[in-house]
Every structure is written in C-alpha cells, then in structure tokens.
Chain A
Amino acid sequence: MNNDAMNLKREIAGTHMMLEELQLYLNTHPNDRNALAKRNAFVKQMNILNDEYNKNFGMINQDASLSTYPWQWIDGPWPWEYEANFEI
C-alpha cells in the first residue's frame, strides 16, 4: 500500500481513537456539552476521511463504502497483515 493510503489510515485511526474516547466519556457524562460538540465534530471528520479513502483506495467500511466492479471487499491486505499497517 502506498504512502498516501498509509497517511490516510493514520488519520482515520487517530479519529477513531477520539471517537472511542469521547463516546465512552459521554456514556458516563451525558450532560457534558463540550465533549458532545467535540464528538460530533469528529464524526464529520470521520465521514470525510472515510469517503476520501473509499474514493482512492477501496472499501474500508463494510456497510458504508461503495465498491467499483468487481466486488472490492475481498481485496487484501486485511488489517492483520503486515502490509496493511502504517508506522505510528
């Protein structure tokens, strides 16, 4: 996978991390407006990054990514393979 794909994956993983953290926090602090606003902003960023990845490098979200012909979901590398991962 090329550098652009890896850089995009790094941003996607970072954004996933913010969503995970803010969502777990909001579960026990549902009235924190500041955290909620941050979380919603990261959702928008996540959508932009996922679309960008989908457009250039194939499917990333099982239920949200579009596929060109032929069906792209079966394309590797899968996440557990060395080549699929970026250097942090």
Chain B
Amino acid sequence: MWSYDKILQYPIKIKTPNPGLATKIISQYGGPDGELAASLRYLSQRFSMVTPEAIATLNDIGTEELAHLEMIGTMVHQLMKNATVEEIESSGAGAYYTDHGRGVYPQAASGTPFTAAFLQVKGDPIVDLTEDLAAEQKARGTYEWLINQTDDPDVLEPLKFLREREVVHYQRFGEALRKVQDYLQEPRLFIMPKPDFLRSNELNR
C-alpha cells in the first residue's frame, strides 16, 4: 500500500506558460518510455521476481516512478495553466487542447493514448530485468531530446533531475541483475536424508 506526502520529489515552479512544450513533455506522462509505463512495469514485474534484492529494487523504483509521474503532470499543468487560446493554437497545442483542454491526459507526444502495450511482464527474472535496463536508457534518451527543445531553466532543471534518476536506476537494476544471475547459477540440488518414519517402515518389512 501507499501513503501520500504533500510535497513533490523535486520542486517545479514554471513562470512562463508554454503549451507547445507541454504537449511534448506529456510523452513522459503517458508515452512509450514514460513514467506511468515505468511504474506499472516495475510494480507488476515484482510479483514474479526472485532474490530479496531484486524484489525490493522493483518495488521501490516502481514507487519512485509514481513521484516522477506527478512531477511530469505538474510540469504539463503549469505550462498549460495560464496560456491563452491564441498561445495554445500558435504553439501547436491545438490538437491536444481540442481533446483535453488544459487538463493532463496520459498520452504520447504523438497523441497515442497510454496503453499497457508500452510495457511487458514476461515472468522470467532475467528477461524482465533486461527490459528494465533498456527502459531506463530509453527514458534517459527521451529526457535528452526534451532538454534539447527548451532553454527555460524552470523546465530544464526538473528534466535534468529526472534524467539523472534514470542513470541511478540503471545502476540499481544492473546490480539487481547480478544478484539474480548469481542466484540462478547456484547449484540447488539437495540430497534429503530419508526421514525416520520411512526408515522404520523399511525395517518392519
């Protein structure tokens, strides 16, 4: 279960509306390499994970991604909030505004709505952790393409923060994979001594 803290993981204070940028950043809310997909991926994969280290890693990074989802939603909200309809239209956010107004809807920058097809749960620990390593790199890449598209420090700083988190998560998933590799290579063939009740049975025969 979860409990809510009334504070963002990293502060977001955007002074200048920019609806065009909002409809690009929305991709990290509900897009293919976004935070919602990340959170659902890890929180779903944890049920079939092995080793205490890897299970805890999925649980806690999946939880942190929810805090990132909230940060992205906040950025979209603040970038849209005080924009005029004229600004929305001229910045190319008209299509988004038509369907969602100034609301925050989980979709990709291309307009594709969020879908669980963005993620996978294979139920095999090596497969799932390898997907997670790739997912962190794809999210890092997305943050870099977003960073390339703005000069507003109020937007850049939280994007750089979120990008760095992907780097740290990659390291932790890599370490979790090492634990799982060691665990799966351990010999696990145990010779059980015959229990006494079976032995006495033999003697009685």
Contacts and interface: CB of A to CB of B under 8 A. Distances in A.
A79 B157 contact: no
Contacts of A82: 13-14, 78, 81
A80 B29 CA distance: 14
Interface centre among B13, B61, B70 (most CB of A within 10 A): B13
B12 A27 contact: no
Contacts of B44: none
A25 B56 CA distance: 11
Contact of A27 (B9, B60, B70): B60
A64 B6 CA distance: 12
Which DSSP category, helix, strand, loop or mixed, fits chain B's interface?
Answer: helix
Contacts of A12: 7
A5 B10 CA distance: 16
Interface in B1-52: 3-14, 52
A56 B8 CA distance: 19
B74 interface: yes
Contacts of B176: 27-28
Interface residues of A, number: 30
A62 B13 contact: no
B53 interface: yes
Contacts, number: 83
Given A27-B53, A82-B78, A60 B13 contact: no
A24 interface: yes
Given A23-B60, A79-B70, A80-B70, A85 B11 contact: yes
A80 B172 contact: no
Contacts of B87: none
21 contacts: A9-B11, A13-B8, A13-B11, A20-B9, A20-B64, A21-B168, A28-B57, A30-B53, A62-B6, A78-B6, A79-B6, A79-B8, A79-B74, A80-B12, A80-B73, A80-B77, A82-B14, A84-B8, A85-B8, A85-B11, A88-B10
7 nearest CB pairs, A to B: A28-B175, A80-B74, A85-B11, A27-B56, A85-B13, A62-B4, A63-B3
